[in-house]
Every structure is written in structure tokens, then in C-alpha cells.
Amino acid sequence: MSRLQKILSAHGIASRREAERMIADGRVEINGVKATVGQSAIPGQDRITVDSIELKHADKKIYLMLNKPEGYLTTVTDDRSRQTVMELVSGAEARVYPVGRLDLNSEGLLLFTNDGEFANRIMHPSFNINKAYEVKVRGDVQEAVRLLQMPVCIDEHTVRVVNVEIIEKTTSGGRITITISEGRNRQVRKMCIACGLKVDKLKRISIGELMLGDLKTGKWRHLTEDEVLLLSSEKSDVLSP
């Protein structure tokens, strides 16, 4: 018997902390009864559902990367029947879950897995895994890049970029790359706005050493064994999340 949040994490649905929030929000049931935070269950014996979808035992670990298009929610279900990224990976041989988020109007590299420990390593801030974004903006790019190289305050939090570079300058704006190691909600967009830029397009191009490459928009592929090992061995400041 294991704690429910540990079971959900092991199936790649969410980190343990996020799983606790899902349980508290009434989204998880055990044998048809809403679960409570701290409750335990027996995988394979108890019927566990998340958002009315039964949790299946996943023997084989699956790791996918998707080039997410704009207009898709990074969520498993949506009560307003909007398009979700799950529709784009429906051909996978096992049920997988998105690792982290890209907001509705963002595109680019998004990982999926049913390996909870792997997902937690990618998402947990203590592992400091860099994520790089290419951003098309309007405004004074030169001045904004100067400001982005300093601490920026968003949502009462001070954040920093790992790196920022100008790719292209135009009369109205240009394109820049921003690399961060944190993952606050809409962080890159908010940092750009705080530095006087208007974001026209945002695309994640890498997670750690994994590059989006030439994967076509809306398509997915399996990670290679080397890619999984590369992400799994990304350095952190702690031994475990």
C-alpha cells in the first residue's frame, strides 16, 4: 500500500506536490469515492481514477517529445472542450502525461512520459534544468536585453535569466533567445513585458541539452535512450527532489 500522491507521481501524472493539489480539488477517486490528501491505496487492486479516467499500470516507460502548436492547452482534460495536447499524442502506445506546461499561445518543445520520477526531475526547480525560448518581440530590443541581464521582478518575485541574446533586430523589434532555469507561470512573457517588450510569438527550443531540432509542428517522436539518459543525468544542487 502506498500514499496516493506517490502512486500518481510514479505514473507520471504529476509531481507529488501537484498530485496533492489534485486530490484536494476532488479530482481523484478510489473505488468510486473521492480521495483525501494522505490517503493510501493498493495499485492493481484499488480502482484509482483521475478526472474520471482510470489509472492503468504502466509496465513500459515511455518518453516522447512534441513540437506543440499554438492553440492547444497543456492539460489532460478541459471542461470547456478546448483542444488539448493529449489529442496530438493519441497514437502513443501507452498513456502519457505532459511534463510541465506551455501556455495556450506558446509553441515548441514539450515532453510527455509515464515515468513520474523522470517528470519530477525535469520540473522540480532544485534540478536547475535550463529551458531556452526563441521570442519574437516588438519594442526596443537592445534596451530590453540590457534590462533582462539584470534581476527582473514579476508577480512580487525576483527572477533572473541564465542567458539572453539578440538573434535579429528590426525597426519594430526583433527576435531574441532567453534561457531560464526556473519555471514560473508565463515567466518569459512576463519578463519581456516587464522590460518593455510586446511578445508576438514564443517558442521553446530546448530543455537541458535536448533540442527541438527539425521536428515538424504538431508532430511527436520517441526520445532515444541517449536523450533520456542525458536528461536524467542533468546536474542539480540536491541529491533528490
Catalytic residue among 51, 103, 115, 140: 103
Distance CA 126, CA 226 (A): 23
Indicate if 155 belongs to the active site.
no
Residue 209 binned pLDDT confidence (cut-offs 50, 70, 90): very high
Residue-wise pLDDT tens digits, 23-82: 999 999 999 999 999 999 987 789 999 999 888 765 588 999 999 999 999 998 888 989
Full set of structural domains in the chain with CATH? 2-54 (3.10.290.10), 63-126+210-232 (3.30.70.580), 130-207 (3.30.2350.10)
Pairing status of strand 173-180 against strand 40-41: unpaired
What DSSP designation does 240 have? -
What is the identity of the amino acid at 218? G
Task: Output the pLDDT for position 59.
Answer: 59
- Does pTM surpass 0.75? yes
What DSSP designation does 117 have? H
Task: Output the pLDDT for position 234.
Answer: 63
- Helix 225-232 to helix 116-123 angle (10° resolution) is 50
